[in-house]
């Protein structure tokens, strides 16, 4: 198990966990780009959005619902937040494990990249 996110999902390496359930886990990003910057991952290893199968539809939906719960818990739901999923090298995906960034706590720039 050399995927760092799989190790976080298995809770074998430390992370600042903000949410967990049987299928998902979220933790604070170690290089935050906003006052709130959490990373939500499935416990199941899926390399990227491209690795999602038809059978993962429910999991993908639960990720979005969990992101809303996390935003509420972090106090950014009312003011607004950004959800980002990077895919592949050109999409700046650094860890090859599907993950959703939850960013907020300040006005975010409209500029991409």
103 burial class (0-12, 13-18, 19+ CB within 10 angstroms)? buried
Q: Is the pLDDT of residue 113 over 70?
A: no
Domain architecture of the chain: domains with CATH: 4-104 (3.30.428.10)
Per-residue pLDDT band at 41 (split at 50, 70, 90): very high
Annotation marks residue 101 as catalytic: no
pLDDT tens per residue, range 51-107: 999 999 999 999 999 999 999 999 999 999 999 999 999 999 999 999 999 999 999
Q: Are strands 36-42 and 17-20 parallel, antiparallel or unpaired?
A: unpaired
> Which of 37, 97, 99, 101 does the annotation list as catalytic?
99
* Cβ atoms within 10 Å of 2's Cβ, excluding its own: 5
């Amino acid at each position: 198990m050399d995927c760092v996110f799989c190790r976080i999902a298995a809770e074998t390496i430390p992370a600042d966990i903000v949410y967990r359930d049987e299928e998902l886990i979220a933790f604070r990003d170690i290089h935050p780009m906003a006052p709130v910057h959490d990373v939500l991952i499935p416990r199941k290893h899926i390399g990227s959005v491209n690795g999602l199968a038809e059978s993962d539809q429910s999991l993908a939906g639960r990720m979005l619902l969990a992101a809303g719960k996390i935003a509420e818990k972090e106090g950014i739901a009312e003011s607004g937040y950004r959800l980002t999923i990077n895919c592949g090298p050109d999409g700046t995906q650094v860890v090859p494990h599907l993950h959703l960034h939850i960013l907020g706590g300040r006005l975010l720039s409209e500029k991409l990249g």
